[in-house]
Chain A
């Protein structure tokens, strides 16, 4: 994650990720956090779906819901950012979504094939 133009008083990115209502003066920095959070979440969800042998459309739909929902709660309730500053909820939701979807499919398929076939 790139850290740019941090004011000296600003805590580190890691601190701000886990603390409520942090300040994000650099929009790109927060979008990077959302991007990587989505990628990690996708791998974790892929692992869970694979281990519990979730199948079919329900698995895909649940992933989309969980991935969009968890991050939505994170940036609206936990970080309370003003979505309009980032171009709306949609812009934040699609940040890294397709990449994370591909990562999820790979993890889900590999774990499911390896454990159950």
Chain B
């Protein structure tokens, strides 16, 4: 089982790097993205500070200012997600094809033995295309998703591509946060 599991980790590292590489080419290195990201980080920090210092004052002028800043931030966040969209689509298509290929290679194969029995709504994934009733059998897709969840996020953070905490906090995780791609 070593060969299969390590191969899946390798595939996951490869796809995460490929995904980040393509995103770098299409998005991260563009001037527009860098400008927007810097702007959002700056505005988020400013807003956070504003909110901290003015939380107990009832100054209407300040509240209006905060509202204006929030509106600006929202617009910038929308622009940023539009910039990202292009590459997300490209990566989505490419990875769906890649995943299809890997899925057919590992079809019906038990790639690992889980040390626990997954809860029922995860079993559809962990036991996908596997025969038998032993739910500790692990399918390719389940291990791949787990690998991607941890590897992609860490690679993004290492390379400094993860959205900043301040931006995440201000946008409520709606725009700033990138869910780990499962495709």
Where the two chains meet, the residues of A that have a C-beta atom closer than 8 Å to any C-beta of B are: 2, 28, 31, 35, 39, 49-50, 53-57, 59-60, 98-100, 102-103, 105-106, 108-110, 112-114, 116-117
Contacts and interface: CB of A to CB of B under 8 A. Distances in A.
Contacts of A56: 115-117
Nearest to A50: B115
Contacts of A116: 113
B5 A110 contact: yes
A102 B113 contact: no
A113 B143 CA distance: 12
Interface string B1-44: 11001100100000000000000000000000000000000000
Contacts, number: 67
B170 to A, nearest CB: 13
Given A28-B165, A114-B5, A100 B112 contact: no
Interface in B110-165: 112-117, 138, 143, 146-147, 149-150, 153-154, 157, 160, 164-165
Contacts of B160: 2
Given A2-B160, A28-B165, A106 B146 contact: yes
Contacts of B150: 39, 99-100, 102-103, 106
Contacts of B116: 55-57, 59-60
B85 to A, nearest CB: 24
Listed from nearest, the 6 A-B pairs whose CB atoms lie closest are: A103-B150, A102-B149, A102-B150, A113-B112, A112-B115, A113-B1
A72 B67 CA distance: 36
Contact of A110 (B112, B149, B153, B157): B112
A50 B2 CA distance: 13
Instruction: Specify which of A57, A103, A106 lies most central, judged by the most chain B CB atoms within 10 Å of its CB.
Output: A106
A65 to B, nearest CB: 15
B165 A109 contact: no
A100 B153 CA distance: 10
Given A31-B165, A105-B146, A112 B154 contact: no
